[in-house]
């Protein structure tokens, strides 16, 4: 006899599991489609990476400025504090001298001068003592005047020290904020690169190698404008292929202005720390006036600097993840050159 049992129904729990699994699969597919960088061209990703590197360097230059200001303020505070200590010592000496004068005057002139003359058996001796007392009084008055002047000067120095310490504290806060900004931009750049496939990362890296190291570079036959420019360029050339590290000034890693500052230091020339300040460190030049060893300033806010190497090539520290290298001067927005 045929069975008349109803077909077995799928349990509610099983339906729930299947539905949830299907929903998760759809969600994962949608998420994967959304996260997949394949739809982004290497060119567009490279443009985003370049923009982040530029923002990182802008933040780095602000960091460099805050560090330079901190160092300058620290030195100023130390000088002022030393001066305060010196003047305090001088004030203490003046006060001690005045106390000694007061004691001597009291011992010699504690009795009314008229009564002293009346009681004196030797008027001439008294008159000699009286002139000494008058001299002591004059000296005491001069001591009081010096103490008052020294106190005024000391108060001014203390006020200046307090002001510099307050400014130093604000600069340290700015330094911390700028450092976080640099680290944030670097993390953002790395996150973007990590979202790419290995093939895409390789393509972006290949697209970034616009410059070359120290071999097979035609720098032409132009000569530097000065011995210090020649020495600076020669020093920088020994740093080729060394890494860019934000806020570093050598000798084995650099940011852009750190490299130029270090290179010129080897020629006994002290450049400012920031590229914006280096832009004002000498005579400005057009592109056609550039000679090897001249500084080259890039971007409208002057946040990048390199050394002109000759034949349209610049030697510079490009950005995080890159190395000191030669690169065409036309790869970045040229502003002007600077002859130091």
Same domain, 115 and 243: no
Question: Average pLDDT over the chain, rounded to whole?
Answer: 79
Q: Which of 4, 216, 248, 256 is catalytic?
A: 256
Claim to verify: residue 300 and residue 220 sit in the same structural domain: yes
Q: How confident is the model at residue 233 (pLDDT cuts 50, 70, 90)?
A: very high
pLDDT digits over 160-177, tens only? 888 888 888 888 888 888
219 and 178 fall within a common domain: no
In a domain, 24, yes or no: no
State whether 61 and 184 are in the same domain.
Answer: yes
Residue 260 sits in a domain of what CATH number? 3.90.1720.10
pLDDT of residue 296: 98
> What is the mean pLDDT of the segment spanning 29-41?
47
- Is residue 36 domain-resident? no
pLDDT at 105: 54
Is 256 designated active site? yes
- Is the pLDDT at 50 greater than 70? The verdict is yes
Q: How many domains does the chain have?
A: 2
Among 248, 303, 304, 319, the one annotated catalytic:
304
Domain final residue pick, 144, 161, 194: 194
Same domain, 239 and 176: no
| Residue 304: active-site member | yes
Structural domain boundaries, residue 300 = 212-339
Q: Are residues 119 and 227 in the same domain?
A: no
* Average pLDDT, integer, range 186-206: 81
Answer with the one of 127, 162, 194 that is the final residue of a domain.
194
For residues 152 and 239, state if they share a domain: no
Q: Which CATH number covers residue 149?
A: 1.10.287.2610
- Average pLDDT estimate for 285-297: 98
Instruction: Point out the catalytic residue in the list 4, 248, 303, 316.
Output: 316
Do residues 61 and 189 both lie within one domain?
yes
Claim to verify: residue 146 and residue 263 sit in the same structural domain? no
For the ranges 27-41, 51-65, 139-153, 234-248, the lowest mean pLDDT is seen at 27-41
Whether residues 243 and 292 share a domain: the answer is yes
Q: Are residues 152 and 226 in the same domain?
A: no
Q: What is the pLDDT of residues 103-118, one digit of tens each?
A: 655 555 554 555 454 4
Tell which of 147, 165, 194 closes a domain: 194
Please state the three-class secondary structure of the chain as a single string. Answer: CCCCCCCCCCCHHHHHHHHHHHHHHHHHHHHHHHHCHHHCCHHHHHHHHHHHHHHHHHHHHHHHHHHHHHHHHHHHHHHHHHHHHHHHHHHHHHHHHHHHHHHHHHHHHCCCHHHHHHHCCCHHHHHHHHHHHHHHHHHHHHHHHHHHHHHHHHHHHHHHHHHHHHHHHHHHHHHHHHHHHHHHHHHHHHHHHHCCCHHHHHHHHHHHCCCECCCCCCCCCCCCCCHHHHHHHHHHHCCCCCEECCCCECCCCECHHHHHHHHHHCCCCCCCCCHHHHCCCCEEECHHHCCCCCEEEECCCCCEEEEEEECCEEEECCCCCCECEEEEHHHCCEEEEEEC
């Amino acid at each position: 006899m045929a069975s008349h049992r109803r077909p077995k129904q799928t349990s509610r729990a099983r339906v729930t599991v299947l539905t949830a699994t299907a929903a998760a699969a759809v969600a994962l597919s949608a998420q994967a489609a959304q996260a997949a960088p394949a739809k982004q061209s290497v060119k567009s990703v490279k443009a985003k990476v370049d923009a982040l590197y530029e923002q990182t360097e802008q933040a780095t230059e602000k960091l460099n400025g805050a560090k330079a200001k901190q160092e300058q303020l620290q030195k100023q505070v130390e000088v002022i504090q030393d001066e305060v200590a010196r003047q305090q010592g001088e004030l203490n000496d003046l006060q001690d001298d005045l106390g000694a004068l007061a004691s001597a005057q009291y011992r010699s002139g504690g009795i009314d001068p008229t009564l002293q003359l009346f009681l004196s058996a030797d008027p001439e001796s008294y008159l000699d003592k009286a002139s000494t007392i008058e001299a002591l009084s004059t000296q005491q008055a001069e001591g009081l005047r010096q103490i008052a002047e020294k106190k005024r000067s000391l108060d001014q120095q203390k006020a200046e020290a307090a002001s510099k310490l307050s400014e130093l504290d604000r600069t340290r806060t700015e330094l911390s904020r700028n450092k976080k900004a640099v680290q944030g931009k670097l993390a953002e750049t790395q996150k973007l690169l990590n979202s790419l496939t290995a093939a895409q990362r390789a393509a972006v890296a290949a697209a970034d190698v616009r410059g070359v190291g120290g071999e097979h570079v035609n720098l032409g036959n132009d000569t530097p404008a000065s011995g210090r420019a020649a020495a600076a360029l020669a020093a920088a050339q020994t740093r080729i292929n060394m890494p860019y590290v934000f806020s570093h000034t050598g000798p084995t890693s650099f940011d852009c202005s750190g490299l130029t500052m270090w290179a010129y230091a080897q020629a006994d020339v002290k450049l400012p720390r920031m590229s914006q300040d280096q832009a004002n460190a000498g005579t400005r030049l057009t592109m056609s006036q550039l000679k090897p060893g001249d500084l080259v300033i890039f971007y409208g806010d002057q946040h990048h600097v390199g050394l002109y190497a000759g034949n349209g090539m610049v030697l510079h520290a490009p950005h995080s993840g890159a190395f000191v290298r030669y690169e065409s001067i036309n790869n970045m927005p040229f502003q002007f050159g600077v002859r130091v």
